[in-house]
Structure 1
């Protein structure tokens, strides 16, 4: 039934009638001038969300993904750099996000072409092929994609492979990489239609990947196969400093690796500098150093990162009836590295997910998580809270959708990944505030950090990455069970861009 002009006239009359008119006009003045979020921001709600926490992890400098969709990568690396910094007593540290960005683009391209080869007889307008073809090499991703890359390529410090214009602003690079991949997909499907054997198609794909490598290398620069690294340790812990300088890492993930530590000549020079300093000459930084020459990215990861990225489980909270709890799910065509398994998730009730998160932070470990960051977010002050963004008061209507329906109808997609670095527990031990490290630079939030209240966490956080040691027996058993395989468009969480 069409909307009549008389109906519209009636709506306008009600909008401008009586006491409602004043409220509507005040709200319109605020929203038109300042935007919906600023107009709806409640000073009472934000005042309740103090940026102090009973448990807080000391992290390094705030990172900035800039104009790219690498949040999942930044959040992943932020969880690991915390462990590295505290294991080796560093004041600050940042991994190279560009290094993994290069290999993610390269590997996603290969995985896409493999998916094309696996679906050669699918119509191009089938739901399966449309899903595969939609984002062949976009920026977004998940923790397990990060794990795939680290296992294959290792990690490097930012100094060894810094940011480039195309990593900071990836649109043009991604656009033309995507076009080239679509061109290759067309060629593969045409060759198949003309009777080319699979072995020949794979040879063609192998040649195509040389063009992909060249596009990535021209856009980002070639990643290092080996590199040098030097870091100064903090003062005040000489025993640990000596171990850092002269021995291989003894953390959970360390393996034998040659450490080209400080040479005798450097030690003698350090002694001379100390003597000069005592004689009143300009002060020289005498902190002990970790020095590496010609180390590989895989050796760097195994030696200096004291955790194994494979010792984590992806927990989801999706209360849709079609996604039963304590079930292990796997998503078809979802990996970024062709030879690895597809993404998998263990769905659990929110109280189970919440407890695991609290236990991990209490034990001194940050948490990667995915959420809908667009919901009830005040960027300026750094708040995630329904009480902080009172759009219900601004518009005079509620926006209540429960989590199950929000996921099923696509209103609560996981569109961002961040890192939990603290929690505040009330008198009953229940979390009422979470400290969140973002990757949008220091100009947003409070010096780059956000605070989320407990209600927001429960409703809009869909996924957390938990160390196996913090899982209860039932959840751990579920995570190791045979997965229920879902089609690539079926909802567990959603894209994390």
Structure 2
């Protein structure tokens, strides 16, 4: 079928102008929007009233953290769920944090190696190939997935923030990322040239090791070198002094966190036709630790998605989750609600899309990870959720947000729960060999 193409002509423009003039109050609306912007003009104060920060289940998780000018939300959220448990077990101070800089260092080094391996796997493809182009667009970044932080912790452990504090570059990562990606792209040129010249595996491995040596040095200069052994001192809630000497990152994790990380699984809600529910999925070329934990998602319907999160909160344990935080949200007030703005009514246009349509057509994907620390249940059904963010105390209610249940349904894509909260049939599905999704699939987006 041949599609006719036609430019906008003056007759159409006249009709458009007349259509606008015939609309009641069009000048009032124009003045309001041009002066105040779309969001302020379409905001509904009633949403703020309904999103009051009071919850029937409300975990005491301590102070919020601040990722500052970095994209480490996924890492902060994961470490926050663990520090909540440490707080409950060991009564550490409310402002205690695990070192995000420590896991950040190792994630960057492992991502460099992961990138090099993918460059070598695709070296026979032209640079115009979609996979190669995808790799080179962002060789590495701050974002990640739950399984990626697990891979780092399983290999390197964790440390308290006192053992490896934040640095300029960990809190403000743009300078490092642009420099590091320049190096990785330069290295990709060299690796592809070696493959094109039929260099031996020994030669390629030797060159890659030099590249990783450079990468380690760049990381050490920017973030400091990670501790091998350290002491951990703190005063608990009763002001009693504690001192633990000669800990390693692995022994610290075993003693103070002690989780079996294999028990925690990624549950997604991706209602697109290519992802039937109750099956496992992974994403090609997505990860950080080579031969480490694989990205694995169990796709379920939204009812199951919500219920496993509620069950874990009822048990007193917070929940890592991923969402599209920029959609229908007020960052300063800390509100995420589908009724927060009425842009469709303001412009008198239909802006409705299904969750699947938003994913398929690039309107939405997971952009941010936070922690569920509470839920308001009415007749045992969730109406709104308490969210611990990692943007500091100056936003929301001391850093905590309120998310409506409708917003969760539309813009939440991932929760991480202990598999014991899954129905038995779904626990069996976890053993399934996952379907491999394309690298650019929205379920492979990094928070």
TM-score (norm. length: structure 1): 0.86
Instruction: Check the 8 A contact 2:105/2:219 in 1, yes or no.
Output: yes
Map 1:45-444 onto structure 2 (within 5 A). Answer: 45-92=47-94, 93-235=96-238, 287-426=239-378, 428-444=379-395
Query: 1 CA distance for matches of 2:392 and 2:28?
Result: 34
Query: 2 CA distance for matches of 1:28 and 1:97?
Result: 47
Query: 2 CA distance for matches of 1:58 and 1:330?
Result: 34
Residues 367-415 of structure 1, C-alpha deviations (whole Å, 9 max, x = no match):
1111111110011211111111222222222321011111111111101
Q: Counterpart of 2:262 in 1: which secondary structure?
A: coil
Instruction: Check the 8 A contact 2:150/2:293 in 1, yes or no.
Output: no
2:446 counterpart of 1:496: yes
Structure 1 residues 178 and 326, CA gap change in structure 2 (3 angstroms): same
Note the C-alpha offset of 1:7.
2.1
Instruction: Check the 8 A contact 1:383/1:452 in 2, yes or no.
Output: yes
Query: 1 CA distance for matches of 2:404 and 2:420?
Result: 26
Note the C-alpha offset of 1:341.
4.3
2:420 counterpart of 1:478: no
Q: Counterpart of 1:310 in 2: which secondary structure?
A: helix
Aligned to 2:3: none
Map 1:445-456 onto structure 2 (within 5 A). Answer: 445-456=396-407
Note the C-alpha offset of 1:34.
3.2
Query: 1 CA distance for matches of 2:33 and 2:279?
Result: 44
Q: Counterpart of 2:261 in 1: which secondary structure?
A: coil
Query: 1 CA distance for matches of 2:30 and 2:90?
Result: 55
Structure 1 runs (4+) deviating above 6 angstroms are: none
Q: Counterpart of 2:24 in 1: which secondary structure?
A: helix
Further displaced range: 416-425 or 57-66: 57-66
Note the C-alpha offset of 1:212.
0.4
Which of residues 4, 8, 14 in structure 1 aligns to 2:13? 8
Q: Counterpart of 1:412 in 2: which secondary structure?
A: coil
Query: 2 CA distance for matches of 1:194 and 1:318?
Result: 43
2:438 counterpart of 1:487: yes
Aligned to 1:262: none
Aligned to 1:461: 412
Instruction: Check the 8 A contact 1:370/1:496 in 2, yes or no.
Output: no
Query: 2 CA distance for matches of 1:17 and 1:56?
Result: 52
TM-score (norm. length: structure 2): 0.95
Note the C-alpha offset of 1:307.
2.1
2:22 counterpart of 1:17: yes
Residues 11-40 of structure 1, C-alpha deviations (whole Å, 9 max, x = no match):
23322335242xxx3433343333322222
Instruction: Check the 8 A contact 2:283/2:444 in 1, yes or no.
Output: no
Query: 2 CA distance for matches of 1:392 and 1:32?
Result: 17
Structure 1 residues 31 and 78, CA gap change in structure 2 (3 angstroms): farther
Q: Counterpart of 1:32 in 2: which secondary structure?
A: helix
Structure 1 residues 180 and 209, CA gap change in structure 2 (3 angstroms): same
Give structure 2 stretches of 5+ with no counterpart.
Answer: 1-5
Paired residues, number: 441
Structure 1 residues 16 and 476, CA gap change in structure 2 (3 angstroms): same
Structure 1 residues 12 and 442, CA gap change in structure 2 (3 angstroms): farther
Aligned to 1:31: 33
Q: Counterpart of 2:265 in 1: which secondary structure?
A: strand
Structure 1 residues 10 and 339, CA gap change in structure 2 (3 angstroms): same
Give structure 1 stretches of 5+ with no counterpart.
Answer: 236-286
Instruction: Check the 8 A contact 1:316/1:346 in 2, yes or no.
Output: yes
Note the C-alpha offset of 1:322.
1.1
Query: 2 CA distance for matches of 1:202 and 1:8?
Result: 64
